[in-house]
Each structure stands twice: as structure tokens, then as C-alpha cells.
Amino acid sequence: MGAKEQREIFSAEGRADLHLHTTFSDGALTPQELVKKAQAAGLKAIAITDHDHVGALEEAVDWGKTYGVEVISGLELSATFGEKDIHILAYFFDPTDKNLLEYLEVFRKERLRRAERIVEKLNKINIPITLDSVLKKAGEGSIGRPHIANALLDKGLTGTYHEAFTKYIGTNGPAYEKKFQLSPEEAMRLVTSSGGLSFLAHPGNYTTDAELLDLIRKGMDGIEVVHPSHSESRQEYYRGVVNQYFLLESGGSDYHGGKKNDDYAFGAFSVPLHVVETMRSRLFG
């Protein structure tokens, strides 16, 4: 069977976006708005993968029943790998797991402390931003640098959302602060203990082939193959790695909405439903 015929079968089967964010982290849409948008885009299943937060899941699952979209439990964790920050996507875990919720509470408190330190650094270089303005951007969500970037943009202190990162709060910026450090092994153990699967998010952004192999050896269940930052050749490469090491694949748009201007990705970066079923089979047989 050729690639064209396979794509036609997968299209008829339905599509899933397994990397989406809501207002419970740094996304612009509420759970209801996101599920409704997924239905309008023709998606049959989605995973909400908010940063260090599972608060959107219960509401989203309920709205999914209304709109006919399956909502899979998802989460995006930050981990420190050597000198790099990497992201780990979790799927099919128990969002009520006590140990998981305790860890996430710690992560969110560390995110707030980090935001406080970034605001202090910005003030020291005469950027007049307040923590309150950042907290208003975060609302009920887990606070992160995108909220700081949006606060800077709204006050006219940067010309664009991305300029906030490149000029001030990105890795090489004068107000950069390291994240709370969690090792990949610790993150994977946390996901496994709550019944879920761990995937390396958008590896093309920061991971060498040697580092990827190291993470696979540490116990990663899968790789995010489809992502807006991955070219078709990169996708094929990671799909080959998945097959070689008997891993799982995932994929999605990494949609945030709002000032990130990533609407082009929604619905365009997705995976066939059989990818979701393969995940489910790996866990539940």
C-alpha cells in the first residue's frame, strides 16, 4: 500500500490532536472553547496537555461528551536534561492520583517563585512590570513565561510576543531564570506511577540523536513525531526511530492561541486515530 492510500485511510478513520493548551496553563481558550474548536476542525480525539496542571481535564471530558470529541488525559512536564530544558508529554494517566497532584502543586509553586524572580530582574533593568499584571494574565492557570511575555506586550514594553523572549526572558536574556529542576527519570516515574505513558515532546527543537537515544534507554515510552517545528523529513526520521526501538508515537499542534498566533497549526498537525488506540492497547491490552 502506498503512502497516498495510507493517508486516505487515516483521513477516513479520523484524526487526533494530542498537544493542546487551555487557560489552565498558557493557552488562550477555556476547556469548552477548545473542545468546540476541535469539533469544528473535525477532530475525533484530543489530549489537553497543560503545563503542570490537570485542572482542565474534568470539564473538558464533560464537554467532549457534548460535542462528540474524546478527551484524553494529558499533561506537559518540564525536565532538566544536562544543561537543557526538555518537555515530557504524559497520556492516559489518572488525573486524580494523589501523588501526581501533590507533585504538580509543588511545580506550580516553583513556577510562581520563578516568575517573581524574573519580574525582579526586569525591574532591575528598568522594565516597569508588576507581578500582579502577570498574575492577571495567568488567571487560574499555571504561571509561566508566556504570561510575562503577554504582560510586557500589553504594556507596550515589547513590540511582539516573541521579542519578549529574545530580548528579555529567553534563555540568553538578562531576565532569564532557570526552571525548577526535575530529571527525566523522575518525570517518567511520576507518570508511570499514575498509570500513564511518557513521550518526549518536539525533540527536533533541542535534542541530538545521542541525547534522544539516552532518553529512550532511560525508559521513554514514545516520541512526539508530528509537531509544527518538525519538517516532513524530521517526522519520517522520528517515525523510523519509533519503529526501530518499538516505541509509540504521538503528535499535535502544540496549540496555545491568543498572541502566539498559532491558529495555522490547529487541525493541520494531527495523527490518525489508530495512534491513540495503539497507546491505549500498550497500557490496557
pLDDT digits over 218-260, tens only? 999 999 999 999 999 999 999 999 999 999 999 999 999 987 8
- Per-chain mean pLDDT for the chain: 91
- 29-72: per-residue pLDDT in tens? 999 999 999 999 999 999 999 998 999 999 999 999 999 999 99
Q: Please indicate, yes or no, if residue 111 is contained in any of the structural domains.
A: no
CB atoms within 10 A of CB 2: 7
Give me 75's grid cell: 499533561
Q: Please indicate, yes or no, if residue 206 is contained in any of the structural domains.
A: yes
User: Given a cut of 50, is residue 2 above it in pLDDT?
Assistant: no
Better pLDDT: 2 or 133: 133
Q: Please indicate, yes or no, if residue 56 is contained in any of the structural domains.
A: yes
Q: Please indicate, yes or no, if residue 207 is contained in any of the structural domains.
A: yes
Q: Please indicate, yes or no, if residue 202 is contained in any of the structural domains.
A: yes
Which pLDDT score, from 0 to 100, does residue 228 have? 96
- The structural domain count of the chain equals 1
Residue 6 pLDDT level (bands cut at 50, 70, 90): very low
Beta strand extents in the chain (DSSP E only): 15-20, 43-48, 70-81, 84-91, 197-200, 222-226, 248-251, 271-272
Which pLDDT score, from 0 to 100, does residue 261 have? 82
* CATH label of the domain that carries residue 221: 3.20.20.140
The domain of 206 spans 3-95+197-284
Share of the chain above pLDDT 70, in %: 96
Cα dihedral angle (100, 103, 105, 110), rounded to 10 degrees?
Answer: -150
pTM over 0.95: no
User: Given a cut of 80, is residue 276 above it in pLDDT?
Assistant: yes
**190-to-79, 99, 181, 210 alpha-carbon distances in Å:** 12, 8, 14, 24
User: Given a cut of 80, is residue 11 above it in pLDDT?
Assistant: no
Q: Please indicate, yes or no, if residue 140 is contained in any of the structural domains.
A: no
Residue 205 pLDDT level (bands cut at 50, 70, 90): confident
